[in-house]
Structure 1
Amino acid sequence: MLRLSGKPKLQRRYAATDTLFGEKTLFEGNCTSEADMRIEGEVTGDLLTTGEVVIGEKGFVRSTVTARDVTIAGRMEGAVKADGIVRITATGRLIGTVQAGSLIIEKGALFQGTSQMAVTSDDRIFPCAMI
């Protein structure tokens, strides 16, 4: 399709659109998505995605989070289940349980709870790191 200027109209190709719970947003309930999620507000309820979940520095989550990868830079109380990596950054606080392929806890982070690492027959060691 041509515009009046004679230049072809660009068509955007979108993959999954991110789901954003913005700062000063309070969400209560369950959310299921195939897109990545970013939480900068407060969420109470279960989050399920095939993508990544990022809890920003101002984010607070009380729930069960099930995702491919999870990064916690804010606060979380609950259970985290990830096929891949769970990362708790230096500003992150997690009180709860983790079930993941890999767990990375950066220096300065707080993790109070239990973790269970996914171990396959190919794994020779538990993929857990404290940075």
Structure 2
Amino acid sequence: MMFRMNGWRSRSSRSGHSVSLIGEGSVLEGTFRSEADVRIEGEFQGVLQAAGEVAVGAKGIVRSTDLRARDVVIAGRMDGRVEAEGTVRITPTGRLVGTVRAATLIIEPGAVFQGQSEMGQTPQEDASLVIAVL
């Protein structure tokens, strides 16, 4: 299964698990934990922890005091704190207001990032740190 997000593609799950979807028109508040990848096309407010990738679609809105995942792709709006073991990517339609902690931060042309970033390695990572503004 493939997803498209304004030219960006992701396999349904690199780990072989299913994808948890918060669909357009849905509103979810609270604490959400998932062993799968998570795709948000609706609204989420609260704490989100995913073992896989979190993708915020172009119409998605996330307000999180603590979002933790392997990788995060933001094509919609994200307010709050984001922590990724790997990469945080803000696409041209994406807007992130808050703080980011990740090994790699990619801000594509047209994307908005207002806040602070901290680049750091998790204990399992040996790769060099990268920040990219495309």
TM-score, length-normalised on structure 1?
A: 0.84
- Other-structure match for 1:38: 39
SS across alignment from 1:81: strand
- SS at 2:18 equivalent: coil
Distance 1:43 1:122, change over 3 A: closer
Query: Offset of 1:119 from its aligned partner?
Result: 4.2
Aligned to 1:128: 131
Alpha-carbon distance, 1:118 to partner: 1.0
Please provide the CA RMSD for this pair: 1.8
Q: 2-side partners of 1:33 and 1:114: how far apart?
A: 26
- Judged with a 3 Å threshold, the aligned counterparts in structure 2 of structure 1 residues 122 and 26 are, in CA distance, closer, same or farther, namely closer
The structure carrying a bigger strand percent of its residues is: 2
Q: Which runs of 4+ in 1 moved over 3 A?
A: 119-124
Once the two structures are superposed, the pairs formed by residues 102-117 of structure 1 within 5 Å of their partners are: 102-117=104-119
Q: Which residue in the other structure is 1:17 paired with?
A: 18
Aligned pair count reads 117
How far apart in 1 are the matches of 2:35 and 2:92? 28
Output one character per residue of 1:72-109: Cα deviation in whole Å (capped at 9) or x when no partner. Answer: 00000000000000000000000000000100000000
Corresponding letter in the other structure for 1:67: A
Q: Which has the larger radius of gyration?
A: 1
Percent identity between the aligned chains?
Answer: 55
Once the two structures are superposed, the pairs formed by residues 1-131 of structure 1 within 5 Å of their partners are 15-63=16-64, 64-119=66-121, 126-131=129-134
Q: How far apart, CA to CA, are the structure 2 residues paired with 1:44 and 1:55? A: 13
- In the alignment, residue 118 of structure 2 is paired with which amino acid? Q
Runs of 5+ consecutive residues of structure 1 not aligned to the other structure = 1-13
Gaps of 5+ in 2: 1-14
What SS class does the counterpart of residue 46 from structure 1 fall into? Answer: strand
